[in-house]
Structure 1
């Protein structure tokens, strides 16, 4: 069964949208951490946890963006 480029492009679009959503989550978490620090409104351990989540969002976003790009390239090859 040959690969369906339309389906591949749809999946690539979804992966790209998920990558964008995770990148935006990282931005929002950074902003929240900065506001909390400015008001000394949270215990120190919370910042470590937030930084871990920010890192996870950035890594996942990068991985999903790469997967989306590869899927788009593959869709172009099977057309």
Structure 2
């Protein structure tokens, strides 16, 4: 595999890992929000903030996963051109 193809594939793998981390973050925030809903001391604005962060994590994760997929495809195309 040529060096530039390896670099692109490595970036794709890093983006895949970042997307997975953001998915995990969204799940943890969702679990936190569920636990806090039973606590009367939790202010209502907190849930709006948590939901905004959950949404941001989900959107960013999807965006990173899409870019990673495109980079994987591009790296594969570069490999095909080498043959």
Which TM-score tier does this pair reach, normalised by the shorter chain?
A: over 0.9
In the alignment, structure 2 segments of 5+ residues that lack a partner are none
TM-superposed CA distance for 1:38, in Å, is 1.8
In the alignment, structure 1 segments of 5+ residues that lack a partner are none
Change (3 A) 1:34 1:41: farther
Could you tell me the TM-score, scaled by structure 2's length?
0.89
Tell me, yes or no, if the aligned pair for 1:30 and 1:54 is still in contact at 8 Å.
yes
Deviations 1:11-69, CA, capped at 9 Å, x for gaps? 00000000000000000000000000022341000000000000000000000000000
- The alignment's C-alpha RMSD in Å is 1.4
Q: Moved runs in structure 1, 4+ residues, more than 3 A?
A: none
